[in-house]
Amino acid sequence: MTMPLMKPKRKNPVRRTPQINLPPGGRSRVALGLTAAAAEGRFELQLCQACGAVQYPPREACHACLSARLRWRAQSGAGQLLAATTLHHSNDLFFRERLPWRLGLVQLDAGPTLMVHLHGAVGDEPQRLTVGARLDRAGQAVLIGFPVEPVGGGEHMADDPMLREMTSDPKFRKVLVSDAMSPTGQALVRAMVKAGADLVWAGHAEPWKRHGSGLDELSTMPQVSLVPLDLTNARSVTALAGEIGGKVDIVVNNAELHRAFGIGARRGTDVARAEMDINYFGLLRLAQEFGPALKGRAADGVAHATAWVNVLSIYALSNFPPHGTFSASKAAAHSLSQCLRAEMRPAGIRVVNVFPGPVDDEWNQAMPPPKVSPEALASAIVKALRDGVEDVYPGDVAQEWLERWRDNPKVLERELAAGGQ
C-alpha cells in the first residue's frame, strides 16, 4: 500500500545542493518509438503487419517471421505478474541513491514478457496488473506495473516515491504562473492550489488593471502570492528571477498576446511585433532567467525543481490564416521550446508543451464551438504534470487537427487555406 507523501522539511540553507544523477539514457533509434508514445501518455509496442505478432523489446524485424513491416500500436497493458524482486545494490548512481528498488517480470495478455518497475501498491506475485509507459528523469520511456484495483481506491497512488520520480506532480511544490491576469491564468492558479501546490506565484504585468481582474480573489488564497512580471521587460523578468528563481519548482508560461488577423488585413507590423515580443521573446527572456535556477535545483530533495510548461496553440503546427500572425508567433515559440527541452533534459527538468484548440476567450468569440474552457485547459495541464507527459493537446479541435496533421500536413494546410478548420 502506498503511504501518503508528507510535506518535506524545510531545506537547510547551509547544506550544499546535490548534483543530478540521471538514469541510463541510451536508446536505439527504433526504441525511441516507445519514448515518442510515452511522451504523449500512451503505451505502444510494435505490431507485425505480416503475422500479427506483438513484440518487445523493439527490433528492426519481427521476431516471429522476420518481416520489416512493423507499426507501433497502443496496448492495454493488461498482464500477469510472474515474479518480483527488490534491488538492494546497483552500480548505477541514479538507482544507488534510491535503493531499494522493486522490479517485476510481467507476461502481457498480448504476448510479450517484460521487465518493469513496480508501483508500491503492487503486491506479491502472482497477480493481475496493468503496465504503463512513463518518461524517466532522462526523458526516456520506462515501463511501470500498476495494480488493477489499488488499495483504498488509489487515493495516494501519485505519492509513490518511484512514480514521483517519473512525474512532475505539483503537490508540495512551488509554482510560478507567468500571467494571472487572464482567465486561463487564474484557472491555472486555482488548479495548482487544488492539486496541493505549496505556493503559487501569480504574475501580473499591468497592476493598474488589477481592479475587477480577478486578482483580488486570488490574493485571498493563503497559497497564492501576487508578483509583478512583465515578459516584455527584461528588467522585470530579471528582478523576479533574482527574488524567487532559486525557489521555483515548476514554471508555467501562459502569457500570450492574441490578435485575430492575417497579413493583408492589417497595415504595418506593430501588432505582429507585439505578439512576437510576448509569445516568443517573452518565453526566451523567462527561460534565460529561470532556466538555470531550475537546473540547479533538479536534485533538491523530494520537492525538487521538476518541470517547465509552455502554453502554446494547436495553430503552432499549421498556420490558421484568420489568426495568421498569432499562429506564426506560436510556431516560433514551439521551435524555441524544443530547444529549451533539449537544454533542460540533462538536468532532468521536463518541458511540457501544451497545444490547446481555440480557448473560450475574447479573441475566439466569433469561433463556433467546441472551444476549450480555461478550467478544462488548467485541468489538462495539471494532469499532464501528474502523468509525466511532454506534449498534450486539450480539446476536440486540437485532437482533430493533430490527427489530420499527422496524416498529411500538406492536406491540412490546403484545407485551412480554403477556409476549413
pLDDT at 131: 95
Question: 160-216, pLDDT tens digit by residue?
Answer: 888 888 889 999 999 999 999 999 999 999 999 999 999 999 999 876 665 556 788
Q: Dihedral sign, CA of 155, 74, 252, 161?
A: positive
Q: Residue range 27-39: average pLDDT? A: 93
Stated pTM of the model: 0.91
- Supply the DSSP string of 175-211, one letter for each residue: EEES--SSHHHHHHHHHHHHTT-SEEEEEES-GGG-T
Question: 63-99, pLDDT tens digit by residue?
Answer: 999 999 999 999 999 999 999 999 999 888 888 888 8
Contacts of 239-243 with CB under 8 Å at 24 or more apart are 240/203, 240/289, 241/289, 241/290, 241/293
Tell me the three cell numbers of residue 267. Answer: 497595415
Q: Are 157 and 130 spatial neighbours (Cβ–Cβ below 8 Å)?
A: no
Which residue did the predictor score with more confidence, 142 or 16?
Answer: 142
In whole angstroms, how far apart are CA 41 and each of 191, 386, 392, 393?
20, 11, 9, 11
Q: What percent of the chain has pLDDT over 70?
A: 92
Exposed e or buried b per residue across 48-66, where buried means at least 16 C-beta atoms within 10 angstroms of its C-beta? beeeebbbbebeeebeeee
Which residue did the predictor score with more confidence, 255 or 206?
Answer: 255
Question: 116-142, pLDDT tens digit by residue?
Answer: 999 988 988 899 999 999 999 999 999
Instruction: Specify the residue for cell string 478548420.
Output: 421
pLDDT at 235: 96
Q: What percent of the chain has pLDDT over 90?
A: 68
Question: 398-417, pLDDT tens digit by residue?
Answer: 999 999 999 999 999 999 98
Mean pLDDT, the chain, rounded, equals 89
Q: Return the minimum-mean-pLDDT range out of 32-41, 104-113, 260-269.
A: 260-269
CA distance 344 to 337: 10
Delineate the domains of the chain, giving CATH numbers in brackets. Answer: 32-166 (no CATH), 174-417 (3.40.50.720)
pLDDT at 12: 61
Contacts of 128 (CB under 8 A, 6+ apart): 78, 79, 80, 81, 148
Tell me the three cell numbers of residue 203. Answer: 504574475
Asked if the model's pLDDT at residue 395 lies above 60, the reply is yes
Asked if the model's pLDDT at residue 355 lies above 90, the reply is yes
Which residue did the predictor score with more confidence, 143 or 11?
Answer: 143
Asked if the model's pLDDT at residue 382 lies above 90, the reply is yes
Task: Report DSSP state, residue 372.
Answer: B
Question: 292-322, pLDDT tens digit by residue?
Answer: 999 988 887 777 889 999 999 999 999 999 8
